[in-house]
Amino acid sequence: MNSFSTASNIDSNSLVQKTVYPILFSIAFAHLLNDLLQAVIPAAYPILKENFNLSFTQIGLITLAYQLAASILQPIVGLYTDKRPKPFSQIFGMLFTMSGIVLLSYAANFSMIILAVVLVGIGSSIFHPEASRISFLASGGKRGLAQSIFQLGGNAGTAIGPLLVALIVVPNTQYYIIWFVVVAMIGLMVLSRIAFWYQSHLSLRANKKAVIDLPNLSQTKIILSVVILMVLIFSKFFYMASMSSYFTFYLMDKFHLSVQDAQFHLVLFLASCAIGTLIGGPLGDKFGRKYVIWFSVLGAAPFTLLLPYVDLFWTGILSVIIGTIISSAFPAILVFAQELLPKKLGMVSGLFYGFAFGMGGLGSALLGNLADHTSIDYVYHLCAYLPLIGIIAFFLPNLKKKKAIS
């Protein structure tokens, strides 16, 4: 853990002003571990569906319960920690997640599954606002890059989770989910070290006047911009819900793949999401976040419209293209929102993560119900049109900034 000792030796001026890469990579690794544990839930759906004879509607409700627990609490956690930062709060979040994983491994009925995923959701709601703030504070002004590194960790975890479930849990039984407690233990160690850096960073900032870049926009335009960004979040995460929760079932139904083969295709899609996330932030820094947001949502539309009509080979190719394009949006959207409201970083991060989780959960529940009443194939025909909503990014302002002292 030399990177942490390096971070602690950086002088106070560097801590406040320069990009602190050891912390950026550490919080990204913590994000990887956190989201890996979250990804265990949807990756376990085929096993849970078979064990408990669940309908697609019930699977959607599991996702909804998890996402609501995460989404409702995140803005509240963010708003609270804007006023009273809690460097060690993420440790408590990881403990909630770990308890949910333990309960999921021993769940004997649908109610226990719901309780388990709610605990994981609470853990996520505590982790994301403060982790996103740490990424912002350690960015040294390279906010798009910092957010991409942070998001890359999350996307990598989301991709690795199903792969580990396919290798460890699927060939055995539901009880093998308990092995993911090891991941949570590693997370606790990493988050403990980050917390000490965050605590020292806060004390340094308290003794130093920080210059904040405020957007040169009226309050009405700021509110309108936030609404547009949230509509784009709806478009992106509703479509992502169709992929993360039901892509394996789609492949199994249409192409008669085994659970393991379908999950490896899901891993490819999720890996492409990680690539998209990595490039989205730096492209936003270089070319402007508005244009990256516009391209990343609307640009996926031709490929999502083709997806329901192609064979297995092209389904794999198109899913990778879709994942890469559509996932480049979130770092740019989040940093754009943070720059609209730079004095409320925790609240903004919590609001957007919360809304993203909420839309993912609602989308999963509604699409699961739709699949029960129609077919899984019909769901993909319908969701193909969602990225077309990206055209409203045209109405986002080009941000010009003015300085303010906090």
Q: Which tens digits make up the pLDDT trace of 40-77? A: 999 999 899 999 999 989 998 998 898 888 888 888 88
Mean pLDDT for the stretch of residues 251-266: 91
Domains in the chain: ranges and CATH: 14-405 (1.20.1250.20)
- Among 225-229, 237-241, 348-352, which stretch is predicted with the lowest mean pLDDT? 348-352
Tell me the sheet residues that pair with 379: none
Name the phi and psi angles at 275, rounded to 5: -65, -45
Kindly calculate the radius of gyration of the chain based on its CA atoms and give it in whole angstroms: 20
Residue 340 to residue 333: CA distance in whole angstroms: 11
Contacts of residue 171, defined as CB under 8 A and 6 or more positions apart, other chains included, come to: none
Residue 48 to residue 10: CA distance in whole angstroms: 49
Angle between helices 259-287 and 312-327 (to 10 degrees): 30
Please write the tens of the pLDDT for every residue from 354-371.
Answer: 888 788 878 888 898 899
Residue in 266, 241, 240 with CA at minimum distance from that of residue 252: 266
Distances 23 to 164, 272, 331, 348 between C-alpha atoms, Å: 26, 25, 18, 21
Note if the pTM is more than 0.85: no
In the DSSP assignment, the letter for residue 292 is: H
pLDDT band at 209 (very low <50, low <70, confident <90, very high): low
